[in-house]
């Protein structure tokens, strides 16, 4: 039997007020803003706890209803993918631009100082969890990362070393491995700080500059050696795949396919 409103306990009144406030908040936010807010909250939860959670528990963690999740996302998987895109898509270089027109060390410094500064705990933990769960964003976004970052870096390194431009000789696997070394070092700075919890300076610009100086001085003779030797395992060109090929690596003309990586 329902009690009159005047007889409800303070606790019941408080719960009713909270529900009314939550409902008002949901009505107050435009759909795009509500969706963005849910993605941001989901990123923090997934980074801390992983992706194995029911939509019921996820809704509770986000402070929303299951119905609201399904209103904005077709499924939990869709929410996960959009969360990773929002957090890691920009982290992979979409929001940062490598200015290949600048001297190599200067361009690397400008790009990676911003890259390292933007490596938040949520992003780094999502990066690791996504890889462990088979959601390998470096693999999924490999073509875009190669086109927007690695190839411009290779072009700059070639200019520094006095080698032919990419238009005259396609990029080689060995060159990609060279530039991935410096990229991996910058990613690992974020892992050390946000995953391992190692003590790190608040400002890592000096560390970034140290890495870049060492890279440029070492990679310049290394890329010259690659062009001089032309070793079979290092001359796989990195071109965009055709639909028939279905892969992002094309064997250089006149060379047999090699499974070596």
Report residue 106 CA to chain centroid gap.
23
Is the confidence at residue 110, as pLDDT, over 90?
Answer: yes
pLDDT > 60? residue 193: yes
Kindly state the tokens that stand for 161. 């070393």
Q: What is the average per-residue pLDDT within 99-113? A: 94
Percent residues over pLDDT 90 in the chain: 49
Task: State which CATH number among 3.20.20.80, 1.10.10.60, 1.20.1300.10, 1.10.8.60 fits the domain covering 20-73.
Answer: 1.10.10.60
A 10 A CB-CB count for 151 gives 20
Residue 230 or 105, more confident: 105
Structure pTM? 0.72
| Predicted pLDDT at 22 | 46
Mean pLDDT, residues 188-200: 93
Question: What was the pLDDT predicted at 130?
Answer: 87
| 48/254: higher pLDDT | 48
- Tracing tokens 């001359």 back to the chain, one arrives at 235
- What are 118-151's pLDDT values in tens digits? 899 999 999 888 888 887 666 777 777 888 899 9
What pLDDT digit, counting tens, does each position of 214-252 carry? 999 999 999 999 998 865 556 555 544 444 444 433 333
State the residue for tokens 């410096």.
182
Backbone φ, ψ for residue 216 (5° rounding): -60, -45
Cα separation, 239 vs 171, whole angstroms: 8
Does pLDDT of 104 surpass 90? yes
Q: With 70 as the cut, is the pLDDT of residue 45 above it?
A: yes
């Amino acid at each position: 039997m329902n009690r009159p409103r005047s007889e409800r306990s303070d606790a019941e009144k408080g719960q009713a007020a909270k529900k009314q406030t939550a409902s008002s908040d949901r009505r107050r936010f435009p759909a795009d803003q509500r969706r963005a807010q849910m993605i941001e909250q989901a990123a923090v939860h997934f980074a801390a706890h992983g992706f194995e959670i029911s939509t019921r528990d996820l809704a509770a963690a986000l402070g929303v209803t299951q119905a609201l999740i399904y209103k904005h996302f077709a499924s939990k998987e869709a929410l996960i993918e959009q969360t990773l895109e929002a957090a890691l898509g920009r982290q992979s270089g979409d929001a940062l631009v490598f200015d290949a027109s600048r001297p190599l060390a200067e361009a690397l410094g400008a790009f990676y100082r911003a890259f390292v500064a933007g490596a938040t705990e949520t992003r780094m933990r999502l990066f690791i969890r996504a890889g462990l769960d088979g959601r390998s964003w470096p693999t999924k976004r490999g073509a875009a990362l190669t086109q927007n970052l690695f190839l411009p870096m290779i072009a700059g390194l070639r200019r520094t070393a006095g080698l032919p431009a990419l238009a005259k000789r396609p990029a080689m696997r060995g060159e990609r491995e060279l530039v991935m070394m410096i990229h991996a070092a910058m990613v690992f700075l974020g892992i050390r700080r946000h995953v391992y919890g190692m003590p790190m300076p608040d400002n890592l610009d000096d560390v970034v500059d140290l890495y870049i100086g060492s890279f440029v001085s070492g990679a310049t003779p290394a890329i010259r050696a690659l062009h001089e030797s032309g070793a079979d395992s290092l001359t796989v060109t990195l071109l965009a795949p055709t639909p028939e090929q279905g892969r992002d690596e094309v064997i250089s003309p006149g060379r047999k396919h090699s499974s070596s990586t």
